[in-house]
């Protein structure tokens, strides 16, 4: 069985999918989004079974490798490998996680899309209005892990002291697929712009972080606690 190098960092988990909810492209020959040397997908089957078929290239008609992954087991796919999958029962349920070599992760973090968000600047005249305690997976408000946004005229700056945080940005409050993903590592911060719908995930059990909020002096904020600067529901 192919092994994920111990140095790799978990960067993404899909929802649990069945034959109806999985993206159609996964059942056609493809390379996983973001696949490159040092990126390893791991498919875990909760129920039923999945067949993985690997190909030498984009055009070879017949697979050169095949793997059946049964319930309670997982399969690791090599980086940059053309493949498709088949669900073998009507009730099959599975998800996919991605693991990235640290050096590759650094290059991803330096990409233009991620850099644009990480290096987003808070206007110089904005005023620091609130600083949260340091939070971990047990103490952080549950609302941070679901869709929410900062209020109009409010920027959030999330600083990671230990571990790593994944930020998912969404086009609006109803969107289910992110239009932006950023990984913020220990010693770094990420900035979320006003009214940007998003949620976060903690990538390690020992991650801890805090959030500072900066507001436009011309904006009058109402509410109490974190609700003064954050919307946790669609308005």
* Residue 1 CB-density burial (10 A; 0-12 exposed, 13-18 middle, 19+ buried): exposed
Count helices and strands (H / E) in the chain. Answer: 2, 16
CB 86 within 8 A of CB 42: no
Residue 112 parent element (H or E): helix 112-118
| Weakest-pLDDT range from 96-100, 163-167, 194-198, 199-203 | 96-100
Res. 200: pLDDT tops 70: yes
For 127, phi and psi rounded to 5 degrees? -110, 135
Supply the pLDDT for residue 229: 65
pTM greater than 0.75: no
- Distance, in Å, from the CA atom of 199 to the CA atom of 31, rounded to the nearest integer, reads 27
Q: Tell me how far apart the terminal alpha carbons of the chain are, to the nearest angstrom.
A: 49
Domains and CATH numbers, the chain: 9-103 (2.60.120.10), 110-231 (2.60.120.10)
Q: What is the DSSP letter of 147?
A: S
Arithmetic mean of pLDDT, 90-112: 77
As given in the structure block, the two tokens for residue 77 are 């796919």
User: Over the stretch 2-38, which tens digit does the pLDDT of each residue have?
Assistant: 889 888 887 777 778 899 988 888 999 988 655 567 8
3-class SS of residue 4: coil
**Beta pairing partners, 17:** 94
Supply the pLDDT for residue 112: 45
User: Over the stretch 166-186, which tens digit does the pLDDT of each residue have?
Assistant: 998 888 888 888 877 888 888
CA distances from 147 to 65, 182, 232 (A): 40, 16, 7
For 114, phi and psi rounded to 5 degrees? -75, -40
């Amino acid at each position: 069985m192919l092994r994920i190098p111990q140095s790799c960092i978990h960067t993404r988990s899909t929802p649990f999918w069945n034959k109806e909810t999985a993206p159609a492209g996964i059942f056609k020959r493809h390379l996983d989004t973001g696949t490159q040397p040092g990126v390893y997908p791991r498919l875990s089957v909760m129920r039923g079974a999945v067949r993985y078929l690997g190909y030498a290239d984009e055009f070879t008609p017949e697979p050169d490798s095949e793997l059946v992954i049964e319930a309670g087991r997982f399969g690791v796919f090599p980086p940059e490998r053309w493949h498709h999958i088949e669900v073998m029962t009507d009730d099959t349920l599975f998800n996919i996680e991605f693991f990235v070599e640290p050096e590759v992760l650094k290059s991803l973090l330096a990409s233009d899309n991620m850099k644009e968000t990480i290096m987003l600047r808070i206007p110089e005249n904005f005023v620091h209005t609130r600083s949260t305690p340091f939070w971990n997976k047990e103490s952080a408000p549950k609302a941070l892990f679901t869709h929410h946004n900062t209020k109009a005229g409010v920027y959030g700056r999330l600083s990671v002291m230990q571990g790593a945080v994944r930020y998912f940005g969404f086009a609006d409050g109803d969107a289910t697929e992110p239009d932006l993903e950023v990984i913020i590592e220990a010693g770094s911060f990420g900035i979320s712009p006003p009214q940007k719908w998003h949620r976060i995930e903690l990538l390690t059990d020992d991650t801890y972080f805090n959030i500072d909020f900066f507001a436009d002096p011309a904006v009058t904020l109402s509410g109490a606690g974190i609700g003064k600067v954050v919307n946790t529901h669609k308005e």
